[in-house]
Structure 1
Amino acid sequence: MSKTVAIFEPIYSQDQTLTCADFLPLVRADNARPEWREFKILTDMYRNGEHLRHDYTGLFSPKFSLKSKIAGSGFLDFVQRHDGADVAFINPFPQLAYWSFNVWMQGEEAHPGLARAAQALLDASGVDISIADTPRHGPATLAYCNFWVGSRRFWNEYVGNTLLPIADFLEANPSHEAAIGVMTDTMHTDPAPFLPFIVERLFSTYISLHPELPRAAYTFDANTVREYCINDFEKLLFDRMRAKIDKADASDVFEPALIEQMQTVCALWQKHFFDFYATRPHPHTGQPVRI
């Protein structure tokens, strides 16, 4: 039987229109706490009970199709085909799995200090997650961007028990050291604090720590992954790392030497990324990286 799937796209101004006709408009006339980005909207949706009105609910940015390279209708069809899952998602950056062990390895190279700030926030919010103990994030768990739809159960367990305590803490304790730490600006294509990048990475962290959770990952074959590389250097890294990473994921064994190599390659990739896009527009934003 067909499930009701509601994917909302935020609308921030009167002249803004949906970029994906298959999604539903979510008008944000009062865009409070814009620095929280989608984190604020997700917690507002939970508090308003939006997730209780549908079988599956999600919030996708207007850049969904640009980043994911698929139409909204294609992802909706994917969700319907996997109606036994509590959460379905797509990772628009599958190539990153080939030189980053998990989201925090990449995150720390992109935003130095991110892991420490994230752990302080989790501890202060009473959320029992250890960043240091986060396992491997491969195709079955890796997701950059909040491109996921969840059942009512998933919203209750993930948003209600993980994201909401963080929002409650930040709202009640804006002067706390942990709150100030996650509102520190980091490098990006436009001004942004640590917070949205932490929340983005909590999704993969959460589902990797809950293997019992039924999930459906929109996966790509290796040839397709190469098409998601956004420059020649990424294609080079993918070609060099592809065989050994696929083998490690298939066996579920990542030797310390391989993890160390991934750390080195990830650092080189990030250095190239900052240098390359310091003077060139990034394909997803049209803006250079802000250092």
Structure 2
Amino acid sequence: MLELSKPSSGGRSVEIRQIYYSDETRLQLDPGFIPLDNCGERPDWREYWPIRKFLLGHALDENTLYGFFSPKFGQKTTLRSSAVNAFIASVQSDADVISFSPFFDQSAIYLNTFEQAATNQPGIWPVFEQSVALIAPGIDAHAVPMDSRHSIFCNYFVATPAFWRRWLEMCETLFAIAETGNSALSGQLNAPAVYGRDFAPSKVFIIERVVSLLLAAEPHWRVKQYDPIQLPMSGSMVSPYPVDLSVLDALKTAAIETGRASYLQIFLQIRETLIQTARRARNAAAPQA
């Protein structure tokens, strides 16, 4: 039976929609989530288009948490809707955002989600720099630390209407620029960036990072996250080192909470040591020619 909503321990309802864009992806949906049809609609915006369409077209209930997951949510997190709902029910009712982000290795090893993307999408820094300066003045995309509370990949989170409205406000600023097509930033947002073995518009990668930017720039938002170490890692060469990754994450947390640069200096030192260790292990395991 389709679960349209489920109350949390704080008396709030939960509505999680799962996006599909073809008959094939519809078959991947978790029956405990609400299907959200995006067939044939603006694939250049990926998941942002159906999320935007819903948020602009519906009056949100202030006593409901909303989420919008891609069809690969189960594959990337190994979580079913029952586990998602159970965790939400266990969270205190004052949380603004509840995260189910996988890939702890990717969030821990990098200073922030922008550095993470720039490593995988070469040449994307200029669009990040200009976009962040526009929607979060005063934040340096190269320097702002993000720990596991802030680092959310794939938009795998549920949130209050207030948070979604603020998120949409920031995204719409970039959306308007990308759609007009008459500025340098517009060209950068629409330019292709490497995405695995394919390409995707750069705007997709900045939109996916708006949630992390918002949480880092406006610390009054209260976040609870599903234990990221219990979720799949990305398979990177540092994935086999959860203890070291946890130390890196804790150092970023300490830097954020205290404002002390010394924690980030230690973070950089330990990160370099971990990368060297992981690289040696990978090379040792590689078949000899």
TM-score (norm 2): 0.78
Q: 1:66–1:129: structure 2 CA closer, same or farther, 3 Å change rule?
A: farther
State the 1:237 CA deviation: 5.5
d(CA) in 1 for partners of 2:276 and 2:162? 38
For the residue of structure 1 that corresponds to 2:17, the secondary structure is: strand
d(CA) in 1 for partners of 2:211 and 2:277? 26
2:182 maps to which of 165, 168, 175:
175
2:35 maps to which of 1, 22, 25:
25
1:105 aligns with 2:128: no
- 1:176-201: CA deviations, max 9, x gaps? 21011122212223331211111112
State the 1:257 CA deviation: 5.6
For the residue of structure 1 that corresponds to 2:220, the secondary structure is: coil
d(CA) in 1 for partners of 2:206 and 2:69? 17
Q: Report the counterpart of residue 207 of structure 1 in structure 2.
A: 215
For the residue of structure 1 that corresponds to 2:30, the secondary structure is: coil
Q: What is the CA RMSD across the aligned residues, in angstroms?
A: 3.2
State the 1:219 CA deviation: 1.8
d(CA) in 1 for partners of 2:146 and 2:162? 23
Q: 1:13–1:53: structure 2 CA closer, same or farther, 3 Å change rule?
A: farther
2:195 maps to which of 183, 188, 191:
188
State the 1:264 CA deviation: 9.1
Q: Report the counterpart of residue 95 of structure 2 in structure 1.
A: 85
Count of matched residue positions in the alignment of Structure 1 and Structure 2: 263
d(CA) in 1 for partners of 2:183 and 2:131? 10
Q: 1:90–1:267: structure 2 CA closer, same or farther, 3 Å change rule?
A: farther
Letter in structure 2 aligned against 1:174:
G
Letter in structure 2 aligned against 1:215:
V
Q: 1:21–1:166: structure 2 CA closer, same or farther, 3 Å change rule?
A: same
For the residue of structure 1 that corresponds to 2:141, the secondary structure is: helix
Contact 2:114/2:128, CA 8 A, preserved across alignment:
no
For the residue of structure 1 that corresponds to 2:148, the secondary structure is: coil
Letter in structure 1 aligned against 2:239:
K
Contact 1:121/1:179, CA 8 A, preserved across alignment:
no
Contact 1:84/1:214, CA 8 A, preserved across alignment:
yes
Q: 1:142–1:248: structure 2 CA closer, same or farther, 3 Å change rule?
A: same
For the residue of structure 1 that corresponds to 2:195, the secondary structure is: coil
Letter in structure 2 aligned against 1:245:
L
1:9 aligns with 2:18: yes
d(CA) in 2 for partners of 1:51 and 1:266? 45
Q: Report the counterpart of residue 238 of structure 2 in structure 1.
A: 234
For the residue of structure 1 that corresponds to 2:137, the secondary structure is: coil
State the 1:135 CA deviation: 2.5
Contact 2:139/2:217, CA 8 A, preserved across alignment:
no
Q: Report the counterpart of residue 154 of structure 1 in structure 2.
A: 163
Q: 1:267–1:102: structure 2 CA closer, same or farther, 3 Å change rule?
A: farther
Q: Report the counterpart of residue 227 of structure 2 in structure 1.
A: 219
Contact 1:88/1:150, CA 8 A, preserved across alignment:
yes
d(CA) in 1 for partners of 2:14 and 2:271? 37
State the 1:121 CA deviation: 3.4
Q: 1:247–1:163: structure 2 CA closer, same or farther, 3 Å change rule?
A: closer
